Amino acid sequence: MSQTIIEKILSAHCGKKVYAGDRVTCAIDQCFSSDARAAEVIDLIENIADSKKNKKLNLFIDHASPAPTTVEAEIHAKMRCFSGAGNGELCDIGCGISHQLIAETGRAYPGALLLSNDAHALTVGALAAAAFTVTSKELAVAINCAQHQLTVPATVKIIIKGKLSAGVYAKDIILYIISQLKANSLPGKVVEFSGDTVSALTIDERFTIANMAVNLGAVCVLIAADKKSADFLKSTGVGKIKAVVADRDCTYEKVHIFDIAKLVPYVAVANSADTMVEVSKVGGKVVNQAFIGTCANGRLSDLAVAAKILKGKKVRVGVKLLVAPASRAIYLKALKSGIIKILIEAGALILPPGCGPCLGAHQGVLADGETAISSGNTNYQGAMSNKSAFVYLASPATVAASALTGKITDPRKFLTRKIAR
């Protein structure tokens, strides 16, 4: 019987052929947690009577990095002590965001199975790695015994076709899809993205698509490996990869097809999980803060398009433009290429690699009534730590254009030609 990608991955990790609905116990390749919830995982592990040291555990200090309060500082100290005792590996402050680093360091690859207690773990599905979000208790158990029990999820296939117009990016695609399917419309499902548009996207753009799919309720995202992913993985030290592809006649729970040939820039409206509209619908909305970064859009190509728009210009007076590279490696590449210089000269403030103000812990908390436009993935009421503020989501291009004008702005007026993909 034919299998989907997730059925093949889980079959390989449990030693038998399995299908959607089957209950399985699988060996785990990697487990990871960040400072947002790592302390509770550590406490749980330390309370396990036969606790074992696990080299497949990865800890990341990225959410509140560097520590803004003594509470976070104590959590960071706890993580350093735990790791220093031989429990996995720690990426300390300034290294970057866990989801980017897991990919950058070769820990995610086609066919790999990963667990995390962070909702955006599925980002690495852009490399055909299956990553699931679990509770801290489940993660602690998996870390200790290197295996996890789960029910094989059904797969929903999303086919994206059509050539992107200038000024339209992966963020616009996924915001549009969420607007059509609605938030949390695919709870508990694996979402497999394919189609000629997906094949044409860069790895950076595929990460954006995978990252934002959590808003659909997906528990895992998968994009079949190809030459682009193989080239990316080679740069991380991963050698020859074994592609995992769905069988032609496998069973999908449902198939959705989207044609994005006429797509325009999209914006997610503040305080709404599934109100995504064309930029013209909210154009002119005054913004006080613009943020480029996060595990959704803090990669080199994201910083590059912002620099293209901002080069030789100045951020509007009264607007705070914050930029946080997703990793130290991205930061260094942006420095070497001159991107950081362009951003600083335009008036941007460069933050340490990490989550930055996305979760509202620090580095960009909003005042009452202020409006931010962000390339991040969260715009619920209270995002950026203030329930009386407003956060809109958009592509880095739209964010950069809005920083220049001081209001939500269509970036196409600043882009005379398409950025090479």
Question: Chain-centre distance of CA 372, in angstroms?
Answer: 19
What are the residue ranges spanned by the domains of the chain? 5-259, 268-414
User: Does residue 419 have a pLDDT over 50?
Assistant: no
pLDDT band at 415 (very low <50, low <70, confident <90, very high): confident
Give residue for tokens 């050698």.
239
Mean pLDDT calculated for residue range 244-258: 96
Q: What pLDDT is stored for residue 34 in this prediction?
A: 97
Residue type, position 157, single letter: K
**C-alpha span between 133 and 138 (Å, rounded):** 10
Q: What pLDDT is stored for residue 416 in this prediction?
A: 64
Of 411, 370, 364, nearest in space to 389 by CA: 370
The highest-level CATH class for domain 5-259 is: alpha beta
Cis preceding linkage at 66, omega within 30: yes
Which residues, other chains included, contact 378 with Cβ-Cβ below 8 Å and sequence gap of 6+? Answer: 358, 359, 391, 393
Write down the H helix ranges in 1-160. 5-14, 38-46, 70-84, 98-104, 136-145
Residue type, position 292, single letter: I
Q: What pLDDT is stored for residue 49 in this prediction?
A: 67
Which residues, other chains included, contact 373 with Cβ-Cβ below 8 Å and sequence gap of 6+? Answer: 267, 287, 289, 290, 291, 391, 392, 393, 394, 398, 399, 402, 403, 408
**C-alpha span between 115 and 28 (Å, rounded):** 8
- 53-99: per-residue pLDDT in tens? 777 899 999 999 999 999 999 999 999 999 999 888 999 999 999 99
Residue range 268-414, CATH number: 3.30.499.10
Helices and strands: H and E segment counts in the chain: 15, 18
Query: Which of 56-60, 121-125, 360-364: highest mean pLDDT?
Result: 121-125
DSSP 89-130: EEE-TTSB-HHHHHHHTT---TT-EEEESSGGGGGGGGGT-E
pLDDT band at 243 (very low <50, low <70, confident <90, very high): confident
User: Does residue 362 have a pLDDT over 70?
Assistant: yes
Of 412, 378, 374, nearest in space to 394 by CA: 374
Q: What pLDDT is stored for residue 211 in this prediction?
A: 98
- 313-350: per-residue pLDDT in tens? 999 999 999 999 999 999 999 999 999 999 999 999 99
Q: What pLDDT is stored for residue 375 in this prediction?
A: 98
pLDDT band at 239 (very low <50, low <70, confident <90, very high): confident
For the chain, what is the mean pLDDT? 95
**C-alpha span between 100 and 95 (Å, rounded):** 10
pLDDT band at 359 (very low <50, low <70, confident <90, very high): confident
- 188-232: per-residue pLDDT in tens? 999 999 999 999 999 999 999 999 999 999 999 999 999 999 999
Q: Report helix, strand or coil for 312.
A: coil
